Amino acid sequence: MKPRFAVRWRDLDQLGHVNSVVFLTYLEEGRTTWLGGLLGPQFETNQYVIARVELDYLAEIPSGTEFVETQHEIAAVGRSSVTLDETLSIVGGDIVARGRVVLVMWEPDHHRSRPLSNHELTALNQQLVR
């Protein structure tokens, strides 16, 4: 199941397409939904921060686009980090961006990274694509 999101009018900029920065908000949103499905309801949206992002923009998301969807695959699991390969697509259409993101698990109350829990390690390693 790919997370799927409605494009908002506010997501577009003066160029009449979705602003490039908003692509990352879609991926953030999809990633958190996807990770919650993988790691269970105890995984809340404040459990990680971004350490690195790289994204290739392949096409515009033009005015009038209704829905986009994201796809996420685990590329690597570290001690406190997870690397994901991600794509963003127009629903019923093409892939518009493809990239990779490195997450670091986070203790929100202490503003510092934390190691992956055993539960998280097990669940993530089961999904390793290669």
Residue numbers 6-25 binding a copy of itself by CB under 8 A: 6, 8-10, 12-17, 19-22, 24-25
Please spell the DSSP secondary structure of the chain, one letter per residue: ---EEEPPGGGB-TTSBB-HHHHHHHHHHHHHHHHHHHH-TT--TTSEEEEEEEEEE-S--BTT--EEEEEEEEEEE-SSEEEEEEEEEETTS-EEEEEEEEEEEEETTTTEE-PPPHHHHHHHHTTB--
Q: Pick from 37, 40, 42, 50: which binds a copy of itself (CB under 8 A)?
A: 50
**Interaction mask 58-77, a copy of itself, x per CB under 8 A:** --x-xx--------------
Q: Please report, as ranges, the residues that interact with a copy of itself according to CB under 8 A.
A: 5-6, 8-10, 12-17, 19-22, 24-25, 28-29, 32, 45-46, 49-57, 60, 62-63, 106, 108, 111
